[in-house]
Amino acid sequence: MFALVLLTMLPFVWFGMITAISFIETPLKFKAPGMTHALGVGIGRLVFKALNLVEAAIVVLIVGAWTQRQDLVTVPIGVLLALAILALAVQTVILRPAMAKRTRALSETALRPAGNTAVRAKVATATHIAYIASEALKVVTLPIAGILIVLAVAA
């Protein structure tokens, strides 16, 4: 029964976290009065590291529940969940480390008096765009997987 609860709940919880942090909090943070780009990037590094850790815990719970209730996870659901898990793996192993050097330099400039001139911020790098695309992939796949799981339970 616990596996059933996890499978029906966690895709929506994961979706909500990504939507709230990546698509609401992050853009709004940079519009706050007094927020510098360097400070915003520093906060973002902390927030996304924490988000990815929580996402990894959710993945462990989803995979554990999946193994317990394989009857509910059809091929389409499995593909959708696998895409979301793969997106998280790419973010954690490839994209965030690739962005770390640049974001670390930007956040460290916030501590210097000439913080705004020490590093010129290039907002949309290819890696950053790939990260946003992987977030978008999760935002699309997770609610669809969740809806299909709920429909499988109701059937």
Residue spans of the domains in the chain: they are 2-154
Note the pLDDT of residue 117. 43
Per-residue pLDDT tens for 35-46? 887 788 888 889
pLDDT at 61: 97
pLDDT digits 0-9 by tens, 43-83: 888 999 999 999 999 999 999 999 999 999 999 999 999 99
* Cβ-Cβ contacts under 8 Å for 105 (sequence gap 6 or more): 119
Dist CA 45 CA 63 (whole Å): 27
pTM summary value: 0.86
Residue 102 in contact with residue 125, Cβ under 8 Å? yes
Tokens of 45: 């590094």
Backbone dihedral region for residue 74 (phi beyond 0: left; psi -120 to 50: alpha; all else: beta): beta
Q: How many CB atoms lie within 10 A of CB 53?
A: 11
pLDDT in tens, 93-132: 999 998 887 777 766 665 665 544 444 455 678 898 999 9
3-state helix, strand, coil in the chain (%, to 5): 85, 0, 15
Q: What's the rounded Cα separation, in Å, for the pair 22 and 16?
A: 10
Say if CB 145 and CB 117 are below 8 A apart: no
Q: Left, alpha or beta for 105 (phi > 0: left; psi -120 to 50: alpha)?
A: alpha
Residue 13: is its pLDDT beyond 60? Answer: yes
Structure tokens of 128? 């950053």
For the chain, the average pLDDT equals: 88
Dist. CA 97–CA 122, nearest whole Å: 17
Is the model more confident about 28 or about 114? 28
